[in-house]
Amino acid sequence: MFKKRNNIKEIEEGKYLEPKFDKNGLIPVITSDFKNGDILMHAYMNDESLKKTIETKEAHYWSRSRKKIWRKGQTSGFTQVIKEIRIDDDQDSVWLSVDIGNGASCHVGFRSCFYRSIPLGKIKDLEKLEMEFKETEKIFDPKKIYKDEPNPTKL
């Protein structure tokens, strides 16, 4: 679907999109809030979801738990409007800068999936390290939105 990768110099410094999908056909995606740069989520795309995202200007991912293309917000209504898409030097990861309005991106109910901060410095016992919550108010109640859908979080 995309241009074939056959030259390192072209991949790194060329103007053509030559994304590298891993052996499962996926590329990792970083999604940040265009308003303040906060990271909202980390997910994956296959070739089709990257194409759909470029074309529709709405974030589409590959759901590894449901094994299908997932238009963000199809259940929750919390869509992500694309402000910009960038790709990295070796074209094996993608950065989406998105507008989520007053919505949320996290299936737990928070605005960002990254709502916990890890304390820094010398650690006595890694198992007792206590993280700090940077978000405390949920934007929505996951039980009301997702009802009986299985939780994507796995042990």
Which of 120, 136, 137, 148 binds a second copy (CB under 8 A)? It is 120
Is 21 a binder of a second copy (CB under 8 A)?
A: no
Query: Which residues, other chains included, contact 64 with Cβ-Cβ below 8 Å and sequence gap of 6+?
Result: 26, 44
Query: Which residues, other chains included, contact 82 with Cβ-Cβ below 8 Å and sequence gap of 6+?
Result: 53, 57, 58, 59, 96, 97, 98
Q: Nearest approach, Cβ of 68 to a second copy (angstroms)?
A: 19
Is 123 a binder of a second copy (CB under 8 A)?
A: yes
Query: Which residues, other chains included, contact 115 with Cβ-Cβ below 8 Å and sequence gap of 6+?
Result: 106, 108, 133, 134, 135
Site for a second copy in 39-78 (CB under 8 A): 39, 41-42, 51, 54-55, 57
Is 37 a binder of a second copy (CB under 8 A)?
A: yes
Is 15 a binder of a second copy (CB under 8 A)?
A: yes
Is 82 a binder of a second copy (CB under 8 A)?
A: yes
Structure tokens at 64: 């590894």
Q: CB neighbours (10 Å) of residue 106? A: 20
Q: Indicate the residue among 16 and 63 with the shorter CB distance to a second copy.
A: 16
Q: Indicate the residue among 69 and 87 with the shorter CB distance to a second copy.
A: 87
Q: Could you write out the DSSP letters of every residue in 53-86?
A: HHHHSB-EEEETTTTEEEETTTTTS---EEEEEE
Give the binding site for a second copy (CB under 8 A). 1-3, 5-6, 8, 11-13, 15-17, 28, 30, 32, 36-39, 41-42, 51, 54-55, 57, 82, 84-90, 92-93, 95, 106-108, 110, 113-123, 126-134, 151-155
